[in-house]
Chains A and B, each alone.
Chain A
Amino acid sequence: DQQVKQNSPSLSVQEGRISILNCDYTNSMFDYFLWYKKYPAEGPTFLISISSIKDKNEDGRFTVFLNKSAKHLSLHIVPSQPGDSAVYFCAARYQGAQKLVFGQGTRLTINP
């Protein structure tokens, strides 16, 4: 039972345009959400996070939006750069818990 779902296995975007990666979750007990980025042959690295008490968090070119009623979050990258080409994982954490539940990942390719 996949509690965190990334329904798009891949996404291709033109350099300079906006990349939007989506993530859906099923459990309303999640209170913290994270995005990780993974390059080939490397481990995932933390990118940005958002608490359930917020609906938006920004860090430079990266913005995460949370829609609690729809149980949906998205990561916006503006403008997209070739170095953003990677696999992006959405993750969620239960209140008070230590472990993260990850999605399947979305492979983002930025075309020059």
Chain B
Amino acid sequence: DAGVIQSPRHEVTEMGQEVTLRCKPISGHDYLFWYRQTMMRGLELLIYFNNNVPIDDSGMPEDRFSAKMPNASFSTLKIQPSEPRDSAVYFCASRRRGARDTQYFGPGTRLTVL
């Protein structure tokens, strides 16, 4: 199994630009989670999906952030327009229904907004 795949691994962009982060979850997993990691707040949940449907987006910081999951094997997190305070590492994780312990994380995308 390839694990959770995220792209790009690194993204450097300028303030005001649109950024799209991509995630391919593990095949057969029902849940997909998007997290952001910062020094101050650690790992914060932004949004999660169950069977491609967004269930809880209360962690999305503001309207500049949006996430979609058009099918079971692909999800995107978009920031438009990006700001320097969005600089962080963004992780995608997936989990199989019933496996309460184990969320499998991708390697993350390090985003730098100049």
A positions within 8 Å CB-CB of B? 2, 6, 32, 34, 41-46, 49, 89, 91, 93, 98-105
B positions within 8 Å CB-CB of A? 4, 31, 33, 35, 39-45, 48, 50, 55-56, 91, 93, 100-108
Within the assembled complex, what's the spacing in Å between the Cα atoms of A46 and B56? Answer: 22
Interface residues of B: mostly helix, strand, loop or mixed?
strand
Asked whether A102 lies within 8 Å of B44 as measured between CB atoms, the reply is yes
Tally the A-B contacts, defined by beta carbons under 8 Å. Answer: 53
Asked whether B107 lies within 8 Å of A32 as measured between CB atoms, the reply is no
Asked whether B56 lies within 8 Å of A99 as measured between CB atoms, the reply is yes
Within the complex, the shortest CB–CB distance from B46 to chain A, in Å, comes to 10
Q: Write out the residue numbers on chain B whose beta carbons fall within 8 Å of the beta carbon of A98.
A: 31, 48, 50, 55-56
Q: Write out the residue numbers on chain B whose beta carbons fall within 8 Å of the beta carbon of A32.
A: 100
Asked whether B107 lies within 8 Å of A41 as measured between CB atoms, the reply is yes
Within the complex, the shortest CB–CB distance from B39 to chain A, in Å, comes to 8
